[in-house]
Structure formats: structure tokens, C-alpha cells
Structure 1
């Protein structure tokens, strides 16, 4: 009986779990023969029969201090992951995102299973900070599956083969999003100016960004009494967002996660906390202003490591500040109100920015084949190359 092709997938957070599940499904569809999966992951991978030896929620670690406190736990989970690989003897290991955890696993596997191809799915953001990680990765794994074309040169310069597979973020389906439906549901005139505020999806972002957003919106409404305002409450922080905006001294429409895309289509301008939501807004054709404030101590520690010019992915892809970015000291209510006000008052500026955002999305892989399919093809090519060499 032919031994099934065995792939080990290692994902240590929810986004990686989704990528791992997508890759497993694409591999199953592509392989003409038996295939088996083992590894570390969350509920999406578990639904495909990939049982994790531990709960990856333990590894949801953010920040330097939390990382130091969890060092012992991380070491134990790395050892558990390596032990699983040694027991299962996979034909390849795919390490998904989660730099701090997966690079430790990769180094250990390179030592104990030197003949097994190691494939990193999502590289560290060396274009934003710590470019030396490109050399570290090149010395540890055999191949990188990168999300964006601007990732590749950083790693290829270090001799690491790269396949650009694209990001699921630019494959979000906006076809069903309906701005007119959103306005009608709020009894809002079709030509009423609408500002959409997106304060973030983490508790720390809500506490830092919501007060300054309130101040900025107050300034905007003082000059534009007819301005309509809607605030998106991400599912993870919906209760806190609702409580905070209930105290705002002007009328605000609360937007639940399920109607977020309709609201993006409906708005004239968005004011958003930096994050993947910027890509969704661009897909919806919404011109935006991006803002972010870090905790003061964390920013002081991290600032020397930031080397990139921009924080927003489509700005990075275009190598231009298409959407204004107001970071840390620049993220004041006055600056936000000025940038948003400029767009609200100038229809041509809004149209120009939306068009430039759309063009940048094309640079990020919009319209390309499904990333999971491209990733599966690349994984199988790496395995075939290894087998041919053997």
C-alpha cells in the first residue's frame, strides 16, 4: 500500500489557523492520491482532522513584557511541536506566520530532521522593522511563501527561494456590499455626507483611539452640522465600543460586524485605526485617513526597530502615501479633522485617492488566483524538488 503524502502544518494563532486550513483543503484537492495532515493549529484545522497537541490560544502573546513572561511556556510548546514532527516523520513542514514561535520550531527541526523541507508561509515584515530577520529565515528554512511582491526581494537577496502567493485580504468579496441599503436602513439621504469611523479590534486600540476620534469628529461636525457619523464595532470589542460612543455628545450610528461592508460602500470618507481594515476599505472604494497610537512605553521600545516608510499595506505596495497616515505624535484630533475635512470638501480628491488605492490593490495581487491554490502548488513543487534530488 502506498504511504500517503504527509504534510505537517504549524499555526500558532487564529489567522495562521485560517491560512493552514485553506492550504490543507487546497492540497487535498490538488493531490491525486492519499494525503495526510498532522500539526499544530486551531479550530479550522481541527475541523479538517488536524488535531493539535495543545491549545494555540496559549500562544496569543502580544508585547515585549508578555513575551518575556511566557518564555518558559513557549519553549515547552516548541518542544511538543518538534516531538510531534519526529514521531510523524512528515514529507514537509509548513510553518505559518507567528514569527516568534515558528522560527524556534524551524531551527529545532533543522537540527533533528535535516532532510525534511521546511517551508515558511508568511514571512516577517522586514520592510517595516528588523530587516536582519530575512537573513535568519534564509539560514533556517528552504522556501518562503510570501503574501506580497514587495516581500520577495528582501529574502531573495539572502538566497532564500520565494513564491509570492498573495493575500486572502485582497480576495474579500465586496460584490454583495450595498451602500444604498445601509443608508436606507438608517433613513439617511443618498447625498448626506457620511464619515465612517473604525476604531480597531483590540481593547488597547479602543481605549487609545476612541477618545481622539471623538475629538476629531466633534471638530468636523462643528464645521459641518449635516455630517453623518457611523462607527464600526468589531465583534471582539463591540460592547466596549458601544459603551464609549453612547457618551459622545452627538448622534452616531453604531455599525455591527455583519453590516460593515455595506457601511464601507456607503461612506464618503473613513477614519480608521491602522490595520487590515485599510485593505477592506480600499476594496470598497472608500478614501480614508489612517491613524494609530501605541502605548507610550511600547512605542519608545519599538521605535528604533521601525525602518519602513509606511504602515498601510497599499501605501507600501505603491511606495507612496496614498492614504494619509497619522502615527503616534501626528495622531492628533486636529490633524485627523484637517485630513478628513479636506477629503469631505473635495469630491475630486476623494475620487483620485480611491482610484489610487484601487491601483495599489492590483500591486498587492487583487484579481490573482486564490492564494491557497498557489501555496499548495508551491508546497508540492518543493517536495518534488527534494524527492528528485534524493
Structure 2
């Protein structure tokens, strides 16, 4: 069978080299497991038998779209065969070559009771996605975060295709926070019935998954790739864990005085969380506007049309003026961070972005009352933001649940803005947190990547994730 190199490159291109590298490794007996036997259930071997790799991917929110798009790019770089994608995702995944079967916003629901009004749509989209998987006949189904939709999909697929020899390998990227909930680890024993491999982004998750019978790989935190993209100088990843941009240039570009006080507001990426938290953030700033000279605010807006519309309408009706920054643009987002004094941040992955920028912040969280009740009484953690959890310390102030009011936020936030000691503590802690979240540097992963023809200096998260997927295999229930 004649194989095309990836991306239509000539035979001497990356795709051709990777294909030759994989064939040589197989023939040379580097490992008995590298041979693409007819009985092998590894993804790379199944792809070898058909001359192409088919991957069905699902991401249900903006952060998942970013993670999945980088994974897609890495799969195209590492796969010895042409790669075809299908599934559900956003604009970044579309740029990598996937046509989504419906907008991912239709399954972007967070919380227990928040899901109820959308339950009928949720079920329809689940059925539609399941049917699309069977039509596409993928070698791998890769779900990214969005555990409510993802796990229901994988469970249905396993139930419908378990008796078929050709059913795909199921991989889930971003392990659920089982460690945060009372009895959460027992959930892993359920997941292993329909998840073949888990890609973990927090160091201790891999061992816990394995101890509970679930195959897993720790790959590092995906947001560290922001630093790689913006720090293209050579050197190991651990030396790139800070994003420094020209804040002064960004201020000049937007007509702000050099001495102006600038706050960044990060209200989240899902419409339901933005509608809850953005009005609280804006009222907080209103309470503070007379305390700081020439106060301005930046709002990086998630690339979600519903969120964009809501933020624009809310700002138009607010007495505050705000500079809206496209959240999908790494350059502009980190420029805004560098130009800012401090940030108000909805609980979530954005706090890691602020750590990369060394921007002091306060984390806030509001949800439906019943969802908040469940979190209060079922969680076994003292904190909600990842840096505080990893360090087991309240380095970043958290204002949560019913206490999350403009008055309370204004008091806590002003302390962070005015107290240099608090800011220095956060900056110092950021270095520790980001080092903890670095991808593994063990020889095993380097050998795996070299086996696929990759000899780059940096083993960044999406590369390790992609190589783990290629060598993942079906697990017995």
C-alpha cells in the first residue's frame, strides 16, 4: 500500500521520515511490541493496517477546544500515517482540520442542577454524536474534559460495540477531579469499564488511576504550552515557565496613561458562569473606582459567540468602560496581563494563565445554590483553585459561594492590589506550582517520542499526550 506523507509533504518531509522511522523500528526488533501484528489492539498498529489514522474527538468548552487543537497538531506531527479527524469542537479544532458535527456550545453545561433545563438537548446531542462515531469508524475516540458528556458518550459506545473486534480505543484527556470528592476514587473503578486510557494533567493522578486499575499517563498541564508558544527561545520547558510581554506597549496602544491602574477580569468561558460572575465583578470595580486613579479594565473574552454577545451587552449597560480582548489570541491576552496590576478570576484553568504571567489575583466562584451545597458537603478539600490545592495553602485569596458579593470581593481584592507582600507571595508560589505541573522528563517518554521520529528539545504536554494515544490499546473490562 502506498502511503501519503502527512500534510501532502514530499517523501523527504516529516511525515515520510516518521513512517520510515516506525517501519524501521518495527523491523529492527527494538521492541517486540512495536510490530503491527494482525491481532494488536494498539492504535498505531490498527492505523498501520489501514494506512491512515482516524480519530474522533470531543471537546465541549473553550479550554477543551484549545487542549484538543494542540493535541491534534501533535498527532499530525507524530503519526507515521495521514490523520483524519471528526467530532465535536470549536474554532481552534476546526483550524486543525476537523469539521464539527454541531457547535460545542450546545453541550457546554457545568453543574448538576444547571444541566436540568438542557437535558433534552443534551440527550439528542449524545445520540447524534454516538451515531457519528459509528459512521466515522475511528481507531480512537478521544474526549477532552467535559466529563458529563464525555463519559456518557464513552459508556454508550462501549455498550454498543463491546462485542465488535474493531471497536475504537477510548482515551479521556484531563482526568476528572476524583481526588477532590469524598469517595471519588471508587469512581475510577467504574470509569475503567469504558475508558481504556486516561491522560492526566496533575502529577499524583496517574498513580491513583493505576492503583484503581485504570491505565493512565501524566502528561503535564496543557496551559504550559502557552509559555512555549510565546517563549520560542531554546532551552528546557522548565526555563520557559514565565510569560513576559510588553505591558507598556499594550497600554500605549489602547491610549492608557503610564500611571493608570489596570485590572483584568476573567469571568470564565461558559455562558452560565459568565452570566453569574461578570455582573459581580463589574459591581466590585464600581466600588473601587474612586480608590484608584485613572482606573481601566481589560476583559479577555472567550471565543464563544454567546459569551461574546453577553459580555458586549453587559458592558454597554454598565457605567464602566472596558477594553475587550479576544481570549483566543495568546499575544493579546498575555499583553493585557502584562499591562495589568491585578486580576479578578473565576475559578478554573485561567488561574494557571495568571501564574504564568505572574499577575496577582483573587479567585471567585458562584453557582446554583444546590450545586454550591453539594460542593460544600461532598468535597474533601479546603480550597478550590489548583495552586492552593497543590501547595495546601491559601496563597491566592478565594471568595466563594454566598460570600462572593461585590462588597466582600472589593475588600479582599483591594488588599491584594495594595499589599506588596501578598503579591510577592503569589509570584514566589507561581514558580513552585508551575514546576509541579511540568510534563515528566523520564527517559521512557523521550524513548517513545524518538521511536516516532521526534527529537525536539522539549517534551511538551500535547506531544506526550499524542504519543501516549498512538501507543494506547484496548483494555479488558
Whole-angstrom distance in 2 between the partners of 1:182 and 1:209? 26
Which residue of structure 1 aligns with residue 27 of structure 2?
Answer: none
Deviation at 1:144, TM superposition (A): 0.9
Q: SS of the counterpart of 1:26?
A: helix
Runs (5+) with no aligned partner, structure 1: none
Whole-angstrom distance in 1 between the partners of 2:144 and 2:275? 30
Maintained 8 Å contact 2:130/2:157: no
User: Which among 250, 274, 284 is matched to residue 216 of structure 1?
Assistant: 284
Maintained 8 Å contact 1:53/1:80: no
Seen in structure 2, the aligned counterparts of structure 1 residues 253 and 13 have a Cα distance that, compared at 3 Å, is closer
Seen in structure 2, the aligned counterparts of structure 1 residues 83 and 194 have a Cα distance that, compared at 3 Å, is closer
Which residue of structure 2 aligns with residue 123 of structure 1?
Answer: 175
Whole-angstrom distance in 1 between the partners of 2:338 and 2:147? 34
User: Which among 365, 372, 379 is matched to residue 462 of structure 2?
Assistant: 372
Deviation at 1:26, TM superposition (A): 2.1
Deviation at 1:200, TM superposition (A): 3.6
Which residue of structure 2 aligns with residue 22 of structure 1?
Answer: 70
Maintained 8 Å contact 2:266/2:300: yes
User: Which among 361, 367, 375 is matched to residue 288 of structure 1?
Assistant: 361
Seen in structure 2, the aligned counterparts of structure 1 residues 348 and 163 have a Cα distance that, compared at 3 Å, is same
- How does 1:103-182 map onto structure 2 within 5 Å? 103-111=151-159, 112-113=161-162, 116-129=168-181, 131=184, 132-173=186-227, 174=230, 175=243, 177-182=245-250
Which residue of structure 2 aligns with residue 256 of structure 1?
Answer: 325
User: Which among 296, 300, 304 is matched to residue 229 of structure 1?
Assistant: 296
Maintained 8 Å contact 1:126/1:154: no
Maintained 8 Å contact 1:233/1:241: no
User: Which among 389, 413, 430 is matched to residue 340 of structure 1?
Assistant: 413
Maintained 8 Å contact 2:144/2:172: yes
Maintained 8 Å contact 1:82/1:105: no
Which residue of structure 2 aligns with residue 185 of structure 1?
Answer: 253
1:13 and 2:60 aligned: yes
Which residue of structure 2 aligns with residue 329 of structure 1?
Answer: 402
User: Which among 144, 154, 161 is matched to residue 96 of structure 1?
Assistant: 144
Whole-angstrom distance in 2 between the partners of 1:208 and 1:41? 26
Maintained 8 Å contact 1:94/1:119: yes
Deviation at 1:287, TM superposition (A): 0.6
Maintained 8 Å contact 1:40/1:53: yes
Maintained 8 Å contact 1:7/1:94: no
CA RMSD of aligned residues (A): 3.4
Q: Which moved more, 1:334-343 or 1:186-195?
A: 186-195
- How does 1:351-370 map onto structure 2 within 5 Å? 351-365=424-438, 369-370=459-460
Seen in structure 2, the aligned counterparts of structure 1 residues 78 and 241 have a Cα distance that, compared at 3 Å, is closer
Deviation at 1:364, TM superposition (A): 1.9
Whole-angstrom distance in 2 between the partners of 1:194 and 1:55? 34
Whole-angstrom distance in 2 between the partners of 1:292 and 1:189? 32
Runs (5+) with no aligned partner, structure 2: 2-48, 231-242, 441-457
Maintained 8 Å contact 1:198/1:270: yes
Q: Which moved more, 1:39-48 or 1:267-276?
A: 39-48
After superposition, give the CA deviation of every residue in 1:170-209 in whole Å (9 maximum; x if it has no partner): 2214557321113333554545443333334444444433
Which residue of structure 2 aligns with residue 37 of structure 1?
Answer: 84
Deviation at 1:155, TM superposition (A): 1.9
Which residue of structure 1 aligns with residue 452 of structure 2?
Answer: none
Which residue of structure 2 aligns with residue 77 of structure 1?
Answer: 128
Query: Could you tell me the TM-score, scaled by structure 2's length?
Result: 0.68
Aligned residues: 380
Query: Could you tell me the TM-score, scaled by structure 1's length?
Result: 0.82
Deviation at 1:210, TM superposition (A): 3.7
